[in-house]
A = this chain, B = another copy of it.
Amino acid sequence: MKPSKQKRLAAAGWRVGDAAGFLGLSEAEDLFVEIKLALSDAVRKRRTKLGLTQGELARRMQSSQSRVAKLEAGDRTVSIDLLVHALVALGATRQQLARILSSSARPATSSWNPITRLVM
């Protein structure tokens, strides 16, 4: 999710009333966050399974180690585009990407906190 949207929403007391069809906006936002978390988790899983370091993955996708770290951390400044790029660089097929999307998000571990930070 983009901070810009958050800003726009925050501005002038935005109303859920005229939101998309059946979904309230916050729900839509939650879904968006879930998707990003699912993707970032998948990146880390695939990377470690392949025995690659962040730096190696970064080289594969022509990025940098620090950005891969942010990717996997679910940093708010990483786009779904970049997440998909990473997964593709890790050899994920469209079917595998679909599976990632349909599976549940990050398992509820009580020790998980920085999500709040991700509120897009």
Q: List residues of chain A with CB under 8 Å of any chain B CB.
A: 2-10, 16-23, 25, 28, 31-32, 34-35, 38, 48-52, 56, 59-62, 79-81, 84-85, 88-95, 97-102
Interface of A is mostly: helix
- Is the Cβ of A49 less than 8 Å from the Cβ of B17? yes
| CA gap between A23 and B114 in the complex, in Å | 29
- Is the Cβ of B2 less than 8 Å from the Cβ of A81? yes
- Is the Cβ of A35 less than 8 Å from the Cβ of B80? no
Contact partner of A4 (CB less than 8 A), chosen from B3, B7, B51, is: B51
Closest residue on chain B to residue A53 by CB atoms: B7
- Is the Cβ of B51 less than 8 Å from the Cβ of A10? yes
| CA gap between A79 and B48 in the complex, in Å | 27
Contact partner of A81 (CB less than 8 A), chosen from B3, B17, B49, B80, is: B80
Contact partner of A79 (CB less than 8 A), chosen from B25, B79, B101, B102, is: B79
* Contact A21/B102 with A7-B51, A81-B80 known, Cβ cut-off 8 Å: no
What 10 A-B pairs have minimum CB-CB distances, sorted nearest first?
A: A20-B91, A6-B51, A7-B51, A98-B102, A98-B98, A98-B101, A20-B89, A18-B91, A20-B60, A17-B50
